[in-house]
Chain A
Amino acid sequence: GQNIDQPTEMTATEGAIVQINCTYQTSGFNGLFWYQQHAGEAPTFLSYNVLDGLEEKGRFSSFLSRSKGYSYLLLKELQMKDSASYLCAVSSNDYKLSFGAGTTVTVRA
């Protein structure tokens, strides 16, 4: 079975940095995805990691450690529009995605 854990909620101030952790235990591993989902909208793709290390994309970075079953999404220079849910998803042996419950990030002025 699949087990993906991430914190339920996080709050941070505009301009700050927030790190969202995700731990996983899955049957097989073919990569880890992060999606952003604003309230009432569809999830949108943010990043994909399949090798260990850090992938940077503008203000957002994603890190993966396969040996530890661990990833994090780093959001820098937070803006009000970053208030959303962030979903960690793992692609397993059959290439299907298993999602965590999501982390709701609230950015305060």
Chain B
Amino acid sequence: IAGITQAPTSQILAAGRRMTLRCTQDMRHNAMYWYRQDLGLGLRLIHYSNTAGTTGKGEVPDGYSVSRANTDDFPLTLASAVPSQTSVYFCASSDGQGHTDTQYFGPGTRLTVL
């Protein structure tokens, strides 16, 4: 069982370019999440999806969009990248069954925007 996979592992991107970070899970989890992790700030939620077909905004959604066409995939798109979006991006998933809901994280994508 792979769990959660993310692609690419790392990417250097010119400012203004469009970029999609991919996330796939094989655990049949209902809920999926995108976080960014910056030094000294911890993990911050960008967008989430409680179930296929629905999405919601997290703490820092500006400049990012997501879609959830099916249970397994939850891509994150940067429409026009800016240097402040340089970060490590983690995708996570959970059963989505309520408060005991443990989130499991993918290996991360390290993104540098120049």
Q: Which residues of A contact B (CB under 8 A)?
A: 4, 8, 30-31, 33, 41-45, 48, 50, 87, 89, 91, 95-102
Contact = CB atoms under 8 A, between A and B. Distances in A.
B99 A50 contact: yes
Nearest to B97: A95
B41 A101 contact: yes
Nearest to B104: A45
A42 B104 CA distance: 9
Contacts of B108: 41-42
A89 B99 CA distance: 13
B87 to A, nearest CB: 14
Interface string B14-42: 00000000000000000000010000111
A72 to B, nearest CB: 18
Contacts of A41: 107-108
A12 to B, nearest CB: 22
A50 B100 CA distance: 8
Interface of B: 35, 40-45, 48, 58-59, 90, 98-108
Contacts of B101: 91, 95
B105 A48 contact: no
Contacts of A50: 99-100
Given A42-B107, A43-B105, A31 B42 contact: no
A97 B99 contact: no
Contacts of A31: 99-100
Contacts of B40: 8, 101
A96 B48 contact: yes
Contact of B42 (A42, A87, A96): A87
